[in-house]
A and B are shown apart, each in its own frame.
Chain A
Amino acid sequence: MLSATALSCIRGERRLFSGLDLDVGPGEWLHVQGENGAGKTSLLRILASLSPPAEGEIRWRGEPIAHLAEDYRRELLFLGHHGAVKEELTPYENLILAARLDGSELDEVEALKALARFGLRGREDLAVRFLSAGQKRRVLLARLAVRKATLWILDEPFTALDVKAVEMLSGLIVEHVTQGGIAILTSHQAIPLPNGKIIMVGA
């Protein structure tokens, strides 16, 4: 479903990687590995169509993503280093507004259910800036749970999560993949997920 051929990436004057091929289908997940500064984040951003590759092409369902534009973005969920969580807003508002930004309405029950699932019950109406770092990450996970997307691209999703949250996130990813979704992620720690594809980035 998502395939890339001969990708290369140049940052500043440095060539991070070149001739990179990858291919992930429904029900598969891909672990992007490599040293610090090897270009893992750059690769994910290129795959998410945030920045163009220096060379090479990415296809989604056989079509170049540059042509698909919003049809690709509708099926994509990207989670970067910063989680796009607004500190001034409550977890509930964050969920509702993020959904609206994606062009969909999220109903109240669904939002509250997702927040409860990630242990944020009782924190729904507290501004995010009063939450702990781990709780902030959980708001993100709740967004993952409510967003209907086929392709997940997650950059270091396990950072700043406690043991229980790690379990929850890996549960989410497994659920997503077994339902025919695709996940591409980076992680500097061991991932408690079975049967992943692995790709190494770097010269």
Chain B
Amino acid sequence: MNATLAPILAIIRRDLLLAMRRKSEVLTALFFFIIVVSLFPLGIGPETALLRKIAPGVIWVAALLATMLGLARLFAPDHADGTLEQMVLSPSPLGLLITGKIAAHWITTGLPLVLLAPVLGIQFDLDGGALGIMVVALLLGTPLLSLIGAIGAALTLGLRGGGVLLSLLVLPLYVPALIFGAGAVEAHISGLGAGGHLSLLAALLALAVFFAPWATTAALRIAIE
């Protein structure tokens, strides 16, 4: 097997196995997402035109918050039981292992959101085209959320009040993802075409894939020292 891919896959498999063993964490984030999105019509009113207008923003903000929910536990269990030390000491480059962990986080929290979003979109009376754009935007955007979030999770690892601090650090950095992600659907609905938004989202994702694991690794080394 490829020397770069092997450690990443090993970590992904391990984290997925662990996620299977503690399903409640994954399901909690998912139901949180569903409930938050479903609360908005109750607060705003059932007017279809208005709901259609706010749908992309509501779903994206809920996705941000749902991602945040699991973020504090991204490295904490591995830190507490000493696995993180073993990862630092592994002959495989730490950056690759961390990339694997981030990928696993996306598979367990981001991907279910992407799959569920169309159902929630229907609640808000979005049409097929808009739903498709939303799924593509979430597909590009949710990995971005996991990547940026991992930096925050590593920086706040083991700190008192880490959870609240994590949101304070990470949420401002989520702004571009939110703008382009929700903007893509809005642009499609208003007939402007979502291409620009989606390519910018893809560009941000490319930048984050390159930069975020590096920053996360540096932060983890500091946390462990």
Contacts and interface: CB of A to CB of B under 8 A. Distances in A.
Contacts, number: 74
B92 A84 contact: no
The secondary-structure label for the interface of chain B is helix
A50 B88 contact: yes
A78 B91 CA distance: 12
A16 interface: no
A118 B29 CA distance: 40
B82 A70 contact: no
Nearest to A74: B91
A31 interface: no
A81 interface: yes
A52 B224 CA distance: 11
A85 B78 CA distance: 9
Contacts of A71: 91
A101 B86 contact: yes
A82 interface: yes
Given A50-B224, A70-B93, A100-B10, A84 B18 contact: no
B21 interface: yes
B28 interface: no
A49 interface: yes
Contact of B7 (A52, A74, A83, A103): A103
Nearest to B79: A82
B113 to A, nearest CB: 24
Contacts of A20: none
The secondary-structure label for the interface of chain A is loop
A86 interface: yes
Contacts of A85: 81
A63 interface: no
Contact of B86 (A78, A87, A88): A78
B122 interface: no
Given A83-B81, A93-B17, A50 B91 contact: no
A141 interface: no
A50 B17 contact: no
Contacts of B89: 48-50, 73, 76, 78
Contacts of B97: 101
Contacts of B85: 50, 78, 80, 82, 84
Contacts of A73: 89-91
A161 interface: no
A106 to B, nearest CB: 12
Interface in B210-225: 224-225
Interface in B61-113: 80-83, 85-93, 97
B78 to A, nearest CB: 8
Given A80-B85, A83-B81, A101-B10, A89 B21 contact: yes
Given A100-B14, A101-B86, A51 B225 contact: yes
B119 interface: no
A49 B17 CA distance: 30
A38 interface: no
A48 B86 CA distance: 11
Given A98-B86, A102-B91, 9 more contacts: A70-B91, A73-B91, A84-B82, A87-B81, A88-B22, A97-B10, A97-B14, A101-B92, A103-B91
Closest 10 CB pairs of A and B: A82-B82, A88-B21, A84-B82, A74-B91, A51-B225, A100-B10, A84-B83, A70-B91, A84-B86, A103-B91
25 contacts: A48-B89, A49-B89, A50-B89, A51-B224, A51-B225, A52-B225, A70-B91, A70-B92, A71-B91, A76-B89, A78-B86, A83-B82, A86-B81, A86-B83, A88-B18, A88-B22, A89-B18, A93-B17, A97-B17, A101-B10, A101-B83, A101-B87, A101-B90, A101-B92, A102-B86
